[in-house]
Amino acid sequence: MKTIETTNVIPVDLQALLCWNARILKYFAEIIGDNDGKAKFGETEEEIRRTVNVLLYNKTEKAWLDYNIRDKSHNTLYYLATAMPLFTKCHAELDIDISNKFIEFMNRFHVLEYPNGVPTSLNNTGQQWDLPNGWPPLQHIVIEGMRKSDNPEAQNLAFKLARKWVLANYKVFKKTSKMWEKIDVTGTVPKPGKGGEYNVQDGFGWTNGVILDLLSTYYDSIKVEETDDKFPSQVTTSKIESPKNKSSKITSFRIKDSKKIALETKAPQVACGRLGSVGKDGFGDIAANIKCQCW
């Protein structure tokens, strides 16, 4: 308890979320014709954006870092939550290289080399928000932050991270018949996460939500190479509605040959509707009868 300094720390992720909230409120104010509200929330958004990029951005580390107001210093340790400004776009809009700089930051800590996802931190404390755990919301934040950038390298990294996370969860699901709140990202064989004050929980809302969103985004691109005995041999198909209200058929994890399977479709890359299930025990069952929303 002696090391806790909650009231002295300005956290990156919270500021980036507040910036995003202000942008949303500005948008709502514009819709209802509240010009004063639009101006007010627009000023709030820009004020927080300046704080994030002037006070919290460390040019040496090339990343946003939590700031301690007591000793006037950044926390230069790696934490994945500092990717939040990429996700909320709370950064200097003209700095198109900002995602490359953050990739350099992650590469310095070698966090992109873990086999089953990106670790939350590199502190192996036995607590759940530390190594070896990867949490679905944080995976989604960094993937979407990279995907929404104008940087092709970042977009390619987003796809690689999405594929890695989907496959890790798929393999854990095949082994345990459950989805889990967090995944151990360190082992060659993925497994549920661990640590903290309670046993790892199965279910799991945000795990399912992240997987659904990644499948909706990358269903025409994700390919896996595994032996047949690790994957289902039966598939079902269903219709997915595109943003232009055109139906397309998606085949989930269709067997390509005796050694490889692929996720194939002719649908547009972004789609709304229902995702199909994979056999009677397939990973796609979590997606059956659940609506996906386009953004």
pLDDT tens digits, 104-114: 999 999 999 99
Residue 72 has pLDDT above 90, yes or no: yes
- Report strand pairing: 73-74 vs 67-68: antiparallel
The pLDDT value recorded for residue 225 is: 63
pLDDT tens digits, 5-21: 888 999 999 999 999 99
| Mean predicted confidence (pLDDT) in 248-266 | 32
pLDDT winner (highest mean) among 96-110, 256-270, 279-293? 96-110
Give residue for tokens 């107001």: 69
pLDDT category of residue 292 using cuts at 50, 70 and 90: very low
- 110 burial (CB, 10 Å; 0-12 / 13-18 / 19+) is exposed
Mean predicted lDDT score pLDDT of the chain = 78
Residue 263 has pLDDT above 50, yes or no: no
The pLDDT value recorded for residue 93 is: 67
The pLDDT value recorded for residue 6 is: 86
| Mean predicted confidence (pLDDT) in 138-165 | 94
pLDDT category of residue 226 using cuts at 50, 70 and 90: low
User: One-letter amino acid identity for 231?
Assistant: F
181 in Cβ contact with 199 (< 8 Å): no
According to DSSP, the residues that pair with 35 across neighbouring strands are none
- Nearest-angstrom CA–CA distance, 192 and 179: 9
Long-range contacts at 66-70 (CB < 8 A, ≥ 24 apart): 66/9, 66/10, 66/11, 66/12, 67/9, 67/10, 68/5, 68/8, 68/9, 68/10, 69/8, 69/9, 69/10, 70/5, 70/8
The pLDDT value recorded for residue 187 is: 85
- Greater model confidence, 61 or 238: 61
pTM: 0.75
Enter the tokens of residue 220: 């025409």
DSSP assignment of the chain, as one string? -TT--GGGEE-HHHHHHHHHHHHHHHHHHHHTT-HHHHHHHHHHHHHHHHHHHHTSEETTTTEE--EETTTTEE--S-BGGGGHHHHHT-S-TT-TTHHHHHHHHHHHTTGGG-TTS--SBS--SSSTTSTTEE-HHHHHHHHHHHHTSS-HHHHHHHHHHHHHHHHHHHHHHHHHSSEES-EE-SSSS-EE---SSSPPPEE-HHHHHHHHHHHHHHTTT-EE---GGGS-S---EEEEE-TTS-EEEEEEEEE-SSS-EEEEE-S-SS-EEEPPP-TTT-GGGGGTT-EE---
| Mean predicted confidence (pLDDT) in 137-147 | 95
pLDDT tens digits, 152-169: 999 999 999 999 999 999
pLDDT tens digits, 165-202: 999 999 999 999 999 999 999 988 888 888 888 898 88
pLDDT category of residue 134 using cuts at 50, 70 and 90: very high
